[in-house]
Amino acid sequence: MQRIGVFVCWCGSNIAGTVDVHKVAEALKSEPGVVIATQYQYMCSEAGQTLIKDAIRDHKLTGIVVCSCSPRMHEATFRKTAAAAGLNPYMVEIANIREQCSWIHKDMEVGTEKAIILGRAAIAKVHLNAPLVAGESPVVKRALVIGGGIAGIQTALDIADAGFPVDIVETKPTIGGKMAQIDKTFPTLDCAACILTPKMVDAAQHDKINIYAYSEVAEVKGFVGNFSVKIKQKARMVDPVKCTGCGLCVEKCPMKKVPNEFNLGMDKRSAIYIPFAQAVPKVATIDPTACLKMKTGKCGLCATVCEAGAIDYTQQDSFIEEKYGAIVVATGYNPINLDQFDEFAYNQSPDVVTSLEFERLTNAAGPTAGTLLRPSDGKHPHTLVFVQCVGSRCDGAEKGKSYCSKICCMYTAKHAMLCREKYPDTEVYVFYIDVRTPGKNFDEFYRRAVEEYGVKYIKGMVGKVAPQADGSLLVQASDLIEGEQLKIKADMVVLAAAIEPDQSARPLATMLTASMDTNDFFTEAHPKLRPVESPTAGVFLSGCCQGPKDIPETVSQASGAAAKVIGLLVKDSLTCNPCVAHSDELMCNGCSACEKVCPYGAITYQDKEFRMPDRTTAIRRVASVNPAVCQGCGACTVACPSGAMDLNGFSNSQIMAEVDAICK
Amino acid sequence: MSHNKETLREIVIETAGVNPRKCMKCGKCSATCPAYDEMEYHPHQFVSMVEAGKIEELMNSKSIWMCLSCFACVERCPRGVEPASFIEAARLALIRQQGKNHLKAEDVPAKLNDKLPGQAIVSAFRKYSK
Amino acid sequence: MQEAMMRRAKELLADGTVNRVLGWQKGEFAYDHTPAVFDSADQLEQFVYDDFTAANLSKYLVKETKQEGKILAFLKPCDTYSLNQLTKEHRVNRDKVYVVGIGCEGKADVEKIKALGIDGILGIKAEGDNFVVETLYGNQTVAKTDVLAERCVVCKSRKLMTYDEILGEDGEVINSNRFDMVEKLENMTADERFAFWQNELSRCIRCNACRNVCPACTCEKCVFDNVNSGIANTAAADSFEEKMFHVIRAFHVAGRCTDCGECSRVCPQGIPLHLLNRKFIKDINELYGEYQAGEDTDSKGPLTNFTYDDCEPSIVHERGVE
Amino acid sequence: MQVEKKEFKPTIVAFCCNWCSYAGADLSGTNRLNYPANVKIIRVPCSCRVNPMFVLRAFQRGADGVIICGCHPGDCHYTTGNYYARRRMTLLFSMLDFLGIERDRTRLEWVSAAEGAKFAKTMNEFVEAVTKLGENKRLEDLRCKKQ
């Protein structure tokens, strides 16, 4: 007969406040098999755990039930405690009488009665627990970083410096991400390219880092320590090994009217292109939708011009299958689409630009070679209006995003400051709701923009931007402090658009079974305590894929994610979850219903010889589960009609015992 | 009949059918309001006045009659607070009291001129009389 | 037809392609022929085939194919669906069976004859389109179509799904209205449905005939017989357990039941058990697309499959009568 | 002596999947959003672990309502678990309805780890619906009835 110990935790007043812990302990003492039932203020504390260890030794307990907080909090703690006292860690059951009882019921009597029932259910379950031993599964000592922006590069560099090989997969022809498009960075105003390109070069030259540019993740299988990923390398029509990046083909290419994504379509590029000078890898790429040779078969000038003979029009998409121990998501962000915000006339006038477009306009490698000119007539803008919170802090249901995009106040202060510093003759207005500068030297930076450079910050929103016949823009806004309605004739309007995750994030999350919130940001394992890990073991989050953040925070999170990956890859093997399925061969029909529903392909079949009841032997086809691959979801146990397939830790009889205890 | 401050505020909020607390004081409604200059209280102020319970000042103000009910503020409000609904609720709270019709049917012909669109008369009746 | 089958069976026995024959033999009365295995030509004299050999032989092949040698099996079209399903689930070794598909015009149901008030039956002879029933009180003639078995009235297909050779002609899949009764029940109110099933299932004596005859119910050890399965019970103690046995059995065969109607045929209490399985088939067809179990030997059954945009369970609340 | 009518308090069994809905239940606890105490939660690794046998077992043992919670389709920690659960529960609910059992006694709801409020709201709604239906008479096993 089992000898069970029940330990009811007060959790200070969290439980004891609305559940009579003494009454619960008393009631559970009379349950069958219970030899000791006590209670203590903090079961998870050192003293509490010693109380359990002593009870296990003194009463020679074979199973313990802790009535405390959610198993998701301290199941591991109490399992370690049991193991320390020599009891198999899987002979521990937790009754959740805090989050699911004391915290949600005000009435002491109701709370106590429910706590007793939950306690009884846990006791009924622990009676049927079997001692389990966690298996081991090897860790592949290689990491995959999805996304080649500053987040991906920083994570890859840190992991590679720890000596582990890393692959970076980037959808664009070059790594660098959004930071490569930015001109200066706040709060120190150093040039984005100057601090980014050395890191890109380090990543390219690092012997442990391998970059798959112009590629995307096609399929992910397996689980932590043992992912197998299929990477699709899109055809560049250029051999990356031979191409020296000299750019001759780009010059000679006759088709020059393709909108240049790098400059957000504000200028044109040729069909064969290198996104920007410091591109890594510095390899040309042919855009099949624009290239005359690909579309009509004529031309082929780039092939003739190329001394390295790197052009190959017949190149096809190729797939690479690779094994990884950990995967880091660094898919980054994009500004939102502004079609819904037609009050700002973004689609009606080229002089209404987003902040990212403004970055390109002020960037030396931009469409206007660094001089700020109006996209419509190329003239020098005299009056500029910056509009904050475009699409951010909305109600999020029909229009815009409900969250604050965090970085717009700072980069707008930077834009305003640079604009006033380079062109003192301009008048710069910034319409804001609140200026949010939560960082080191951030507020001082914003004050410099106001005090030193005379940027006119006006508290109130812009209601309407109306393009006028003379090409200027009539901005109608309200000044809440003066209580006036302003009508400003502006030459340019810059919208601080909200940012949202890259659209490759949602399909990637499904592939990785990582969960996402309603705005498609990856959900972290714990918002405060585990921000760089996904709840899915082995998947880590770096940068804006987890939420809006600026470059300093992105880099610190990237290194955080790298530290977590290194912590995983250092291990040679992982103890894998022992709560896996197992099949009772005598009852198995071999009908392969379970194999069809297993998401991990953990079930295989073999013909085995059995002594049948009438003393004959017969060959029967029976299922067998590979404990290293099985993750314990239980789909097979329900697909199996005869009940041969059962799950350790959540067996049919255990769950039915819990149901009985609850309904008694 | 006089309402004390609390029930009047509740009536206005209930008729408006929107929660004034959702307003984040961005001022976009006032920015787009075509009748801004003629009003002594501006749309974003309506919302904060309703929230603060200053319904009397609102009802006695000139602004609630200046509102064209063009609903630009409702269209543009990022938080869906609908300031126009609050003005309408304040107006209704006023004209629903005894004999407080702002527009009497008999003095319409005097105000008529051919440039006045039919729709304006209809909307005037909707806004200014029970 | 019987002679042709006997002749063919003897030939195949003689030339050694098979070492035994699975068919039917006369029972106590003229209408209760039972399946039997014939090892030699002279045993085949007992072989019988007529309008009352209705048993589905495919389930016997589960045990038979475990023995030595190949076995000849005469399968009606609806039996071949069951054989396909058993082959898909590796319960029958298809190469150890030589299947002779036989055309079928539908089998008679002796309960229907008795229901016409004819009793004391001594013998039944088929003459053209009707039966001559000899009884203690003289002969009666009855039209075949009046006493056709329910499952044959709404027969879903006369097409042989798997065969090594055919005797008689292969038929076609029939677009029958086999779900009418299910629909009728669905349109009743919840109370009427509850009363209907309470009345039907309360007559169940748990003789397990339905489980023993069902070609989809071939577990090595049934959940209800296995003591530590948690729901072991061999007799229904109250109305709940009556329902539970049939609901869980219907669930286990859901997506695998070929609607061969054997369960209702053998039920001594005449409970329309096939309606439960047809309800699942109707739901699956409506919600997840047409699926006929046994049509092939490799497709994934509806309950071991899914699509990303399946309907939500709340559809049950929106459908049908309150 | 006036028999004090014991106000009917239904027994509700909730099967919550460990990764999403159980975390959602915890979150509704952390936010102190209360829902009736007669809901008791059983933790299962995934919604696909819930066997129709368990649902019938709960009703047999005297439960008046059974609710299964799982991750939103596409969010399942085991990639496909909730898709199978969705099909199985749809067919089970349809069969129970076919037998004449009241529909509101069973329910399936997708609750993510971030939806504490939705979990509490769902539980309140479900208990209210089951209370309206009254005691479970059609799927009861008299031997397990509380005297």
How big is chain C, counted in residues? 322
**Taking a C-beta distance cutoff of 8 angstroms, is the pair A462, A297 a contact?**
no
Among A515, A595, A600, the strongest candidate for a mutation testing the D interface, having the largest count of D CBs within 10 A, is A515
C152: in domain:
no
What is the distance between the alpha carbons of residues C67 and C56, in angstroms, rounded to a whole number? 20
> What DSSP element (H or E) covers A593?
helix A593-597
Q: Both C44 and C170 in a single domain?
A: yes
Q: For A154-196, how does the pLDDT look when each residue is reduced to its tens digit (9 = 90+)?
A: 999 999 999 999 999 999 999 999 999 999 999 999 999 999 9
Task: Please tell me the distance in Å from C198's CA to the nearest CA on chain A.
Answer: 24
> What value does the mean pLDDT of chain C take?
90
What is the distance between the alpha carbons of residues B90 and B86, in angstroms, rounded to a whole number? 6
How sure is the predictor about A213, in pLDDT bands with cuts at 50, 70 and 90?
A: very high
Q: For A137-159, how does the pLDDT look when each residue is reduced to its tens digit (9 = 90+)?
A: 889 999 999 999 999 999 999 99
Domain count, chain A: 5
Within 8 A of A400 by CB-CB distance, chain B residues are 78
Domain count, chain D: 1
Better-scored residue on pLDDT, D79 or B33: B33
Task: Please tell me the distance in Å from D5's CA to the nearest CA on chain C.
Answer: 26
A454: in domain:
yes
Q: For A96-124, how does the pLDDT look when each residue is reduced to its tens digit (9 = 90+)?
A: 999 999 999 889 999 999 999 999 999 99
Q: Both A478 and A374 in a single domain?
A: yes
Dihedrals phi, psi of B6, to nearest 5 degrees: -65, -55
Tokens of A546: 């987890």
Nearest to A460 among B31, B76, B78 (CB): B31
Q: Vertex A638, ends A633 and A642: CA angle to 5°?
A: 135
Of the listed ranges A208-212, A420-424, B117-121, C26-30, the least confidently predicted one is: B117-121
Q: For residue D147, what pLDDT is reported?
A: 60
- The answer to whether the CB atoms of D51 and A117 lie below 8 A apart is no
Q: What does the DSSP assignment read for C115-150?
A: HTT--SEEEEEEETTEEEEEETTEEEEEEGGGGB-H
CATH class of B5-97: mainly alpha
> What DSSP element (H or E) covers A487?
strand A484-490
CATH code: domain of residue D135: 3.40.50
Task: Please tell me the distance in Å from D143's CA to the nearest CA on chain C.
Answer: 9
How sure is the predictor about D5, in pLDDT bands with cuts at 50, 70 and 90?
A: low
Average pLDDT over residues A67-79: 93
Q: Both C194 and C304 in a single domain?
A: yes
Among D99, D107, D125, D141, the strongest candidate for a mutation testing the C interface, having the largest count of C CBs within 10 A, is D99
D54: in domain:
yes
- The answer to whether the CB atoms of C248 and D53 lie below 8 A apart is yes
Q: For residue D6, what pLDDT is reported?
A: 67
Sign of the Cα torsion B19, B21, B22, B26 reads: positive
Please tell me whether residue A473 adopts helix, strand or coil conformation.
strand
C185: in domain:
yes
pLDDT at B11 over 90: no
Q: For residue B1, what pLDDT is reported?
A: 45
Q: Both A484 and A363 in a single domain?
A: yes
Nearest to A395 among B28, B37, B78 (CB): B78
Q: What does the DSSP assignment read for B22-67?
A: G-----HHHHH-TTTTT-SS-HHHHHHHHHHT-HHHHHHSSHHHH-
Among A418, A434, A428, A436, which residue's Cα sits nearest to residue A456? A428
Of the listed ranges A80-84, A411-415, B26-30, the least confidently predicted one is: B26-30
Domain count, chain C: 3
**D84: closest chain C residue by CA:** C306
Q: Both A256 and A376 in a single domain?
A: no
- The answer to whether the CB atoms of A586 and C304 lie below 8 A apart is no
Q: Both C206 and C322 in a single domain?
A: yes
Q: For residue A487, what pLDDT is reported?
A: 93
- A390 sits in the region (left: phi over 0; alpha: psi -120 to 50; else beta) called beta
Average pLDDT over residues D108-136: 93
CATH code: domain of residue A626: 3.30.70.3270
Q: Both C134 and C188 in a single domain?
A: no
Q: Is D74 at the interface with chain C, CB within 8 A?
A: yes
Q: Both A223 and A353 in a single domain?
A: no
Q: Both A257 and A352 in a single domain?
A: no
Q: For residue C168, what pLDDT is reported?
A: 87
Average pLDDT over residues A506-521: 86
D84: in domain:
yes
Q: For C199-231, how does the pLDDT look when each residue is reduced to its tens digit (9 = 90+)?
A: 999 999 999 999 999 999 999 889 998 888 888
Within 8 A of C67 by CB-CB distance, chain A residues are none
> What value does the mean pLDDT of chain A take?
92
A22: in domain:
yes
Q: For residue C101, what pLDDT is reported?
A: 93
pLDDT at D3 over 60: no
Task: Please tell me the distance in Å from B88's CA to the nearest CA on chain A.
Answer: 21
Better-scored residue on pLDDT, A510 or A186: A186
Among A104, A508, A598, the strongest candidate for a mutation testing the D interface, having the largest count of D CBs within 10 A, is A104
Tokens of C56: 């589905």
**Taking a C-beta distance cutoff of 8 angstroms, is the pair A522, A511 a contact?**
no
**Structural domain range at position C120:** 110-147
A657: in domain:
no
Q: Is C96 at the interface with chain A, CB within 8 A?
A: no
Q: For residue C265, what pLDDT is reported?
A: 92
Q: Is A573 at the interface with chain C, CB within 8 A?
A: no
CATH code: domain of residue A151: 3.50.50.60
Q: For residue D1, what pLDDT is reported?
A: 46
| Residue A587, Cβ density class (10 Å: 0-12 exposed, 13-18 middle, ≥19 buried) | buried
Sheet holding C130-135, edge to edge: C121-127, C130-135, C138-143
Q: For residue D80, what pLDDT is reported?
A: 86
Nearest to D94 among C198, C237, C316 (CB): C316
How sure is the predictor about B8, in pLDDT bands with cuts at 50, 70 and 90?
A: confident
Nearest to C90 among A587, A596, A621 (CB): A621
Q: Both A67 and A10 in a single domain?
A: yes
Q: For residue A395, what pLDDT is reported?
A: 85
Is there contact between C and D if contact means ≥3 C-beta pairs under 8 Å? yes
**Where in chain B are the domains?**
5-97
D44: in domain:
yes
Q: Both A457 and A342 in a single domain?
A: yes
Query: What's the whole-model pTM score?
Result: 0.68
pLDDT at D37 over 80: yes
**Structural domain range at position A365:** 336-500
Q: Both C83 and C127 in a single domain?
A: no
Q: Is D37 at the interface with chain C, CB within 8 A?
A: no
State CA B101 to chain mean position distance: 14
**Structural domain range at position D122:** 12-144
Q: Both C35 and C164 in a single domain?
A: yes
**Taking a C-beta distance cutoff of 8 angstroms, is the pair D32, C227 a contact?**
no
Q: For A330-346, how does the pLDDT look when each residue is reduced to its tens digit (9 = 90+)?
A: 999 999 999 989 999 99
How sure is the predictor about C321, in pLDDT bands with cuts at 50, 70 and 90?
A: low
Within 8 A of C305 by CB-CB distance, chain A residues are 596
Please tell me whether residue C245 adopts helix, strand or coil conformation.
helix
Q: Judged by CB atoms within 8 Å, which residues 356-395 of A form the interface with B? A: 389, 393-395
How sure is the predictor about A527, in pLDDT bands with cuts at 50, 70 and 90?
A: confident
**Taking a C-beta distance cutoff of 8 angstroms, is the pair A283, A274 a contact?**
yes
- Chains with 3 or more CB pairs under 8 A to chain A: B, C, D
Of the listed ranges A94-108, A118-132, B113-127, the least confidently predicted one is: B113-127
Q: What does the DSSP assignment read for A111-130?
A: HHHHHHHHHHHHHHHHHT--
A610: in domain:
yes
Q: For residue C191, what pLDDT is reported?
A: 92
> What DSSP element (H or E) covers C315?
helix C315-318
> How many CB atoms within 10 Å of residue A403?
18
How sure is the predictor about C322, in pLDDT bands with cuts at 50, 70 and 90?
A: low
